Amino acid sequence: MTSRRYYPSLLMILFGIGLLTGCGGTPTPQAQGHASPQLVVAENTEPTTLNPIFGSTLADVNAESGIFNSLVSFTPQGGFQGSLAKNWSVSSNHKIWTFYLRKGVLWQDGKPFSAKDVVFTFRVDTNPATAATAVPPIIANQVESVTSSGPLTVTITLKHTLPSSLFLQAVSYVRIVPEHILGKIPPNKLSSDTAFARHPIGTGPLKLVKWVQGNYLEFKANSHYFLGPPHISSVVMDIIPSPTTAIAQLESGAVDLIDSSNPITPTQFTAAEKHPNIKGYTNSTLSWKNITLVEQGLFKDVYVRQALDYATPKNQLIHTILGGYGVPAYYSQPTHSWQGTTTGIHTYPYNLSKARKLLIHHGFSLVNGVMTKNGEPLNVTLYASATDPENSLIARVIQSDWQKIGVHVTIRLMDPNAMLAAGGPLYSKSGLNAFLLSWVQGPDPESDAYHWLSTNSVLINPAGGNYARYNNPTVDHLLTEGATTFSRKARAPLYHEVDRILSAQVPDIFLWWSDSLTLANNKLIGYDPNAYAFATFWNFQNWRWK
C-alpha cells in the first residue's frame, strides 16, 4: 500500500477512535463456562516481536491484541470503553486525566497488576533511550507527567489541551506491560531483549505457550482474565503467506479464520463464501484510494480539477477492481464516522459530457486531440506504485476516460519509495503530475487532516504531507480550531465545513472507501471485524463455537 506519508509503525497510521466522554464505561465480564476446543487463525506474515513497545506490523498488533490490554479500548462504533481502567475523568482545563483501574487484575504469571505498571509503561514509552517504535506521537510529544496516587489510580498530565477523542485514541494504543519484568532492563536495552519479545506476559485473554518461528504461534486461554475466562481453550496462529493456501485450508477445516492480514481478492472471497461451512464478513474501513493533483500549471485551475473528477468512473472502478466491496469517496472522512457528512458535499457523478463542457466553458479547446488553454495542453503524468497490482488496472481506466475528454495521460509505475522520495517526481516543480495513492484514515480527523490539508504542511521535504500543495487560509483556520476544541459536538461542524470546501475545490479526486474481507468457519460466533476495532482478538472473550 502506498500511503500519503510513512510512519515508523502501523499504529502511527491507525491511531484511534473518538467518543467524547467525561468518564468511561466498562464492558460486562462474561459468565463463566467451559472452554471449547482449539481455533486456528491464518496469519499472512509472522510477527516480528510480541513486545508492544516495539511491535509495528499488522501481525505484531494482531497477536498482541490477545496478550495485552490498554487502559481503554475501542468499540465497533468508534467509541471507548474501559479496559484496564474501569472509568476515567478529566479536569476542567482538559489537561489532567485520571484513570481508575480495575481491582483484582492479574498478570499471566499470577502477579497483581497495579498503577505501577501503567506509570512504568508510559514512562518507558516516552523515554528517548527506549527508542520505542509503537508509541503514539500524542503520547510521545504531549504527555508532561504520569503519576499514581495509590495502587488503582493513575494521573496523566498533558502539556497542552487536546480534544478528548484525540487523546483517548492514543491511550487506547498503549499496551500496558509488566513493570516487575521489564523494569529490570535498562530502557536502552529493551529493544534488544528477546526474552520478553518471544515470551511475553500480559493481562489479556490469551497467553503465548509456544512459538515455532516460521511456522506457528500457540496460545492458551487465560482462565484468570478479568472479563471472564474465554470460551475457546486454545488458539493457533498459523503463518500462511498465500491467501490461496489459507482458503483451501479453511475449506478443508484445517483453518477456522482468515483474518484481515490476508490480502483476499474479491473473486476469492465471493467464491469461498459459497462453501457450506464458511461465512464471509465484509465491513467498512477507514481506507481510501485517491488521486492527488499537484497544484501547479493548469492544475491550479479548480475547473480542471472538477472536470477530471467528473471524468473519473468511481462506481466502475469499485465494481471492476473491488468486486463491489466498497463505496465511492467524495472527501477525506468516511460518512459512517462522527465527523462525516453528506450535507453540501459536491459528488461529481461520472459524466464525460459535463467534464468536456466544463473545460470548454473555461477557455479550453482541442488542439491535436488535447484540451489546450493559452497554448498549454492538458498533458498529465499519472504516477503510481508498481508494487500494488491494482494500480496498473486503475491507471489504465483513468487514462482511457480522461483521454475521452481530451486529456492526454502518461502512466508511470514506480517503486513507491522512489516515487515519494525527496528529489523524486512528487517534488517536481514542472508538469501536470497526478499521484494514485492509498491512505488509511485515522478515526479522529486530526490524525491526518492537518498533515495533508494544512498550508504549514506543504510538501517541502520528506516529512511534508500536503502533496497537492493545497493552500486555503480558511481551511487552515478550521483545522486549527478543530485541533484545539475539546468537545466532539463543537468540532464536528468545523470538519464538515472543511469537507464541503474540499469537495468543491478538489485538491484530490477521492475514488473509494474499501471494505475489509475476512472468512471464518460458520460455526464460529462472536467474531466481529469492524472499522475501528481492527486487531484480530479485540473481543476474543466473546468468541465461541456453536
Band (pLDDT 50/70/90 cuts) for residue 447 is: low
Residue 96 pLDDT > 80, yes or no? Answer: yes
pLDDT tens digit string along 211-268? 999 999 999 999 999 999 999 999 999 999 999 999 999 999 999 999 988 889 999 9
Domains 10-277+522-545 and 284-515 share a fold: no
The DSSP string of 266-317 is HHHHHHHTTSTTEEEEEEEEEEEEEEEE--SGGGG-HHHHHHHHHT--HHHH
* Beta strand 365-367 pairing with 85-90: unpaired
Average pLDDT over residues 53-82: 93
Average pLDDT over residues 12-35: 37
Of the candidate CATH numbers 3.90.1150.10, 2.60.40.420, 1.20.1070.10, 3.40.190.10, the domain formed by 10-277+522-545 belongs to 3.40.190.10
C-alpha cell at 488: 466532539
> Where do the domains of the chain lie?
10-277+522-545, 284-515
| pLDDT at residue 450, as a whole number | 55
- Rounded Cα distance, 297 and 205, in Å: 57
Query: What is the structure's pLDDT at 248?
Result: 98
Matching residue, cell 476515567: 88
CA distance 139 to 153: 19
Fold of 284-515: Dipeptide-binding Protein; domain 3 (3.10.105)
pLDDT tens readout for residues 338-356: 777 788 899 999 999 999 9
